[in-house]
Amino acid sequence: MYILNKLPNDGNDGILSLERIRRLPGYPDESSFEKGPVVVIECDEDIPCNPCEDICPSGAITVGEPITNLPRVDIRKCNGCCLCITICPGLCMFVVYKNFSDTESLIYIPWELSLLPEKGTVAEGCNRRGEQVCRVRVEKVIKAKKLQKTSIIAVSVPKKYFEIVRSISY
């Protein structure tokens, strides 16, 4: 038996499959992605929680009563302002701008680690299992001060990864 540096990472525990995510009420349908930056809520459990509904300035997110309901998004009202990303205690919200350019999508992800990358940094985009899948570039960094200390970084990814990349490593 040889010693591992890290435990094997191939299991599915704690990860939602893309099929499941696409069926969530907080996930936009295919056509909604074409219109502009939209919020994507990968929230799947009936935890009593509703700060996303509270903070959305355009009323695009509804949890209602009881507050164990999964959040639903009215895509017509969402303008991709990213406030919800900063308040979600589960850090499970992202803003996706599928048609950022002809070849790239822009993904806004919450970031609470020490090393806040700078604009222009080239990094590795990671899927929900933390596996590196493509090169990404940091296009925007919104450093938190008042935003509950959750910063936001916007990374451009090859378009085919717009539903895949949810973190970066660099």
Judged by the rule CB under 8 A, the positions of this chain that interact with another protein are 1-9, 11, 13-16, 42-51, 54-55, 66-68, 87-92, 112-114, 116, 126-131, 148-150, 166-167, 169
- Closest distance to another protein from the beta carbon of 128 (Å): 5
Query: Min. distance of Cβ 77 from another protein in angstroms?
Result: 20
Q: Measure the N-to-C terminal CA separation of the chain; round to a whole number of Å.
A: 31
Residue 5 CB, shortest distance to another protein, in Å, is 6
**Which helix (H) or strand (E) segment is 18 a member of?**
helix 18-22
- DSSP track, 122-141: EEEEE-TTS-EEEEEEEEEE
Place of tokens 């295919």: 30
In the complex, minimum distance from the CB of residue 118 to another protein, in angstroms, rounded to a whole number = 15
Count of C-beta atoms within a 10 Å radius of residue 87: 17
37/77 Cα distance (integer angstroms): 11
* Minimum CB distance to another protein smaller for 54 or for 74: 54
Count of C-beta atoms within a 10 Å radius of residue 107: 29
Smaller CB separation from another protein, 30 or 45: 45
Looking at the Cβ atoms of 75 and 144, the one nearer to another protein is 144
Question: With respect to another protein, which residue has the nearer C-beta, 36 or 51?
Answer: 51
